[in-house]
Amino acid sequence: MFDYEIANAPGKSIIGLQVTLPPNGWTPPHRHGGAHVVAIVQEGELRSGMNGNPPQVYTSGQSFRELPGCHHTVADNNRKDESCRFMAIIVIDTEVVKKGGYGALTVLDEGW
């Protein structure tokens, strides 16, 4: 959706992504390349668990954040009958994306 270098934070970029998980959709355990992430649920229900803590369910209009180094162990659509859509706003070192592309934003756990 967007990708801008932050003028008053040299070496940092802010990236916005629209993510849709289908019914029963999920993502494997992952981290975000040292980024600070804010997720805002726009439709449906997102179940999210980090750093081994019990997962929480977030509904439309709710948000949560992942601090740099956070281990996102659970990220799935909490509904079997509708999609979940959320926006991820990511602040990351510009160099990470320049070197690794957008694939560097999500680093899956080994074995995935």
Average pLDDT over residues 80-99: 97
Every domain of the chain and the residues it spans: 2-97
Partners of 47 in beta bridges: 57, 76
Query: For position 33, what pLDDT does the model report?
Result: 87
pLDDT digits (tens, 9 = 90+) for 15-48: 999 999 999 999 999 999 899 999 999 999 999 9
Query: For position 86, what pLDDT does the model report?
Result: 98
This prediction's pTM: 0.92
Q: Do residues 93 and 12 touch, judged by C-beta distance below 8 A?
A: yes
Nearest Cα to 37, choosing from 9, 84, 81, 72?
72
| First-last CA distance in the chain | 26
Which fold, 2-97?
Jelly Rolls (2.60.120)
pLDDT-based confidence at residue 5 (cuts at 50, 70, 90): very high
SS (H, E, C) the chain: CEEEECCCCCCEEEEEEEEEECCCCEECCEECCCCEEEEEEEECEEEEEECCCCCEEEECCCEEEECCCCCEEEEEECCCCCCEEEEEEEEEEHHHHHHHCHHHHCEECCCC
